[in-house]
A and B are shown apart, each in its own frame.
Chain A
């Protein structure tokens, strides 16, 4: 303790200096408190006030992030004595997270199942605000401690959201499953972290001695520690074989919550994965764990398993859940490159995936609202009844498949070219296999994605079904997202150059 004393003032100075670049997160903290208070005061209007406040606040956070984006430029900053790392790519991910969270908050009351919930939606907005804070920290974590804290923060928020609506046995089961598996995954990760700390002697990933210490340790132990930590992250990313919770939870949760789960923790998880791997990749002396092979194999298995399993699905949300697993595999391909171009490609891919996935889930909600349609069979012939919604569905699915003219196609091309570029330098067969798998699974994905247009347009409606009032606003939102997808399909540079 006495030898630490002279450092205290410097540490404190660092903390106060860091606050300046912590503005978005500070905004979030204040917003969280405000939303909670607002929920208590205006409990009667079913969270409408909370929703407006949350949306406005998230936009403010987005602006604050934009300020950081311009300020940081190409620099790398360490905040709070190296607990957090801030650079261009992190900020981009944070901005994607903010924008998507904004859209999801808008989406919440447009879903009938959630709307009719007795508890009202005020709590949900509070939880989301808190979770966005967790997601921000997750993306910026640079010590094992912050990693674990942020992951737990996001997890707890997710457990609450999944179990938000538990009137049916199925969703209760989904909620419980998620909590149990999530806890187990966290425990595994924590064990990995403790091993890792023991072997490396530091919590900070960017400590100069990290690699040296790990190299002196037993390779098998290091591998075990790293694999356990990666398993914790992989659970969030839904990498096969840690994906088993995904279908049930996505199907059982309310659709806006599914949208939340399938986009936000995934994006933050990729940010975390990249940060975690950076010190190992940056040091050419590191040979203990071959990340390229490890992640390539995981990516290939994930792409194949996710896409093939989706083929047999009948429930639309379940189908989208499996397709989301497939997309994780594809995004891993971009991670494997470990190049600046690859990270850009990854960010663009994630942004486009977020838009398209959000759009499709909104449409799933739209059809569930208006026609009580949840399975493919219920979609028969609806294309003629709701032409605008159905055409948007086709556009969004085309983007998810990766066929031109859509943003998804451009994202795919950019990822492919990033991988190719790296292949040309190193001639690693793994990368070539990844490319091949990506191509084959695209064809497979077309098969199941096209099932939705098939039922919408090609099959005939058998009987007249009761119709419920539809939400115009939801449709407007979907049209905007579809237009965005086409716009980015024709001019990808609008967004991609910002990545």
Chain B
């Protein structure tokens, strides 16, 4: 059995188990889900440890360099004189995806631990949760565009219900807004996908193919096809490849989210229940970043290079705009949601630089933000679960009431604002270094990035001061004080590993860089090759 296939479909298996179990066993559902995610985590660690490094395992545009590959023929449609439509079940990982998988596995475990607060309709919740888990794992492994798209869209439906059924007051609005935004992006991506499919032929069989790696090789595009590098076709007066890049970029930019396509995020994150917020911030935003690397930059590298300035500009705008918005929030969850926008801006800035440092920094930022945002949302969930309020001004002096909780909050805040020694610092430092070094983006963007870090220090520290320091003063008075009990074992079990991971990646960034370096170098080299 292929490891990746197991990794993807273990959640589905357990999800089916939950569906067939009778309702009176509903207290066991969370343990079943936890078991599924723990098995996934074990598989993830196995993948991480057995992932071979070196230039001959870099992946990117060489099919034989991918690891844990499984390729099975899946759909074969006879289209008459147009040949056959060939879709493969094709999964495999390289340096870009391996850490995404490990991070997903960790975040999923944390999300299950946060699901203890879910009280209604447990069967539905955990079944949808596991379906989402499967889809996310599939997205990071798929190397066939059709398969990728299938998993990508499969994420939407469970999320719609998870937000819509277990969310906060404005859940209906948030759920539909999220769904429409994402579908708007992905439907147009579908058009480009079909166009790419008809432009690319498999050199082996001569059929059109959805193979992502074949799509990266300019030689595979048939003469005169829409997306061929040499034929310079126009669509609506825009060069076809630029249009293709832009459309797919918009689809993923909605996911990242990049300002001005971010407006679904504050609603979705705030209305979603804690476990779903954790998955949204921790994993789903990275699907956007991953997609930009694998598909936008992989298939249209020359457009990515010529448009680097605009990508960088969008990244900088996200950083500053997200941070300024975070400063203005009263709702703690909303503040963290906007801080996500700001932090994900670094990913885009790093990618735009197209330097080894910048791209590595972007990858590191995705991993680091995955852990840190999970931690932050988990922390908000703890306080919301106890008093059903998260307005910053309704709390004061929490440090005396909940000292342990405050310790974890301080670790998460300081790590997020980029204190040296934590993962975010490494990520942001590399991103900025790459931006300075790059000839594609101007230096002032790096300066703006640093201003963003400064702003993030401002809103995190200000929040820390407002909520946790000073004399104890709670809006709900004595009853709140009774409710605000110390951390439970389960909560500590979730928070401690995240804190350790944030520190470990800060002290030993080689844990990440060691695995991704060859792939990042190969990506940069590949981009230069195509442009030449």
Which residues of A does B touch, CB under 8 Å? 339-341, 344, 384, 394, 398, 403-405, 409, 412-414, 416-417, 420-421, 423-424, 429, 432, 435-436, 439-440, 442-443, 446-447, 450, 453-454, 457-459, 491-493, 496-497
Contacts and interface: CB of A to CB of B under 8 A. Distances in A.
B179 A417 contact: no
Contacts of A496: 77
20 contacts: A394-B157, A403-B157, A412-B190, A417-B197, A420-B194, A420-B198, A421-B198, A424-B224, A424-B225, A436-B191, A439-B187, A440-B187, A442-B187, A446-B179, A446-B183, A450-B160, A454-B164, A457-B161, A492-B77, A493-B78
Nearest to B75: A493
B220 to A, nearest CB: 16
B154 A421 contact: no
B235 interface: yes
Given A420-B198, A443-B184, A457 B165 contact: yes
B77 A414 contact: yes
Contact of B190 (A413, A453, A497): A413
Interface in B107-124: 121
Interface in B176-203: 176, 179-180, 183-184, 187-188, 190-191, 194-195, 197-198
B76 A424 contact: no
A493 B75 CA distance: 6
A25 to B, nearest CB: 28
Contacts of A412: 190
Nearest to A497: B78
Contact of A403 (B153, B184, B236): B153
B171 interface: yes
Contact of A340 (B76, B81, B165): B81
Contacts of A492: 75, 77
Given A403-B156, A446-B179, A341 B188 contact: no
Nearest to A384: B121
B25 interface: no
Given A416-B190, A424-B226, A432-B235, A458 B197 contact: no
Contacts of B473: none
Nearest to B188: A439
B197 A446 contact: no
Contacts of A413: 146, 190, 194
B121 A417 contact: no
A416 B76 CA distance: 17
B82 interface: yes
B147 to A, nearest CB: 10
A447 B183 CA distance: 10
Contacts of A436: 191
A496 B82 CA distance: 14
A420 B76 CA distance: 19
A450 B150 contact: no
B79 interface: yes
Nearest to B147: A404
Contacts of A414: 77, 85
A432 B77 CA distance: 24
Interface string B141-182: 000001001100110110011001100000110011001100
Given A458-B172, A458-B175, A417 B183 contact: no
Contacts of B160: 450, 453
Given A424-B225, A432-B236, A454 B172 contact: yes
Contacts of B161: 453, 457
B204 interface: no
A447 B180 contact: yes
Interface of B: 75-82, 85, 121, 146, 149-150, 153-154, 156-157, 160-161, 164-165, 171-172, 175-176, 179-180, 183-184, 187-188, 190-191, 194-195, 197-198, 224-226, 235-236
A341 B82 contact: yes
A404 B79 contact: no
Given A341-B79, A446-B179, A439 B190 contact: yes
A440 B179 CA distance: 14
Contacts of B164: 454, 457-458
B191 A416 contact: yes
A436 B198 CA distance: 17
Contacts of B195: 420
A380 to B, nearest CB: 12
Contact of B157 (A341, A398, A442, A458): A398
A443 to B, nearest CB: 5
A344 B190 contact: no
A417 B79 CA distance: 10
Which 7 pairs show the lowest CB-CB distances between chains A and B? Answer: A439-B187, A458-B164, A404-B150, A340-B80, A416-B194, A404-B153, A341-B82
B142 to A, nearest CB: 12
B157 A344 contact: no
Contacts of A450: 160, 176, 179
B80 A341 contact: yes
Given A405-B154, A417-B85, A458-B165, A443 B76 contact: no
A453 B175 CA distance: 12
B75 A435 contact: no
Nearest to B185: A443
A442 B156 CA distance: 15
Residue from A403, A412, A442 whose CB has the most chain B CB atoms within 10 Å: A403
Contact of B154 (A404, A432, A493): A404
Nearest to B163: A458
Given A344-B79, A443-B183, 16 more contacts: A340-B82, A344-B80, A403-B153, A403-B156, A403-B157, A405-B150, A413-B194, A417-B85, A424-B198, A439-B191, A443-B184, A450-B176, A454-B164, A457-B165, A458-B171, A496-B77
A443 B226 contact: no
Contacts of B224: 424
Contacts of A340: 80-82
Contacts of B146: 413
Given A443-B187, A493-B77, A417 B165 contact: no
B198 A493 contact: no
Contacts of A404: 149-150, 153-154
A341 B184 CA distance: 27
B87 to A, nearest CB: 9
Contacts of A457: 161, 164-165
A491 B74 CA distance: 8
Nearest to B224: A424
Contacts of B194: 413, 416-417, 420
A78 to B, nearest CB: 22
Contacts of A409: 153
Contacts of A394: 157
A260 B115 CA distance: 46
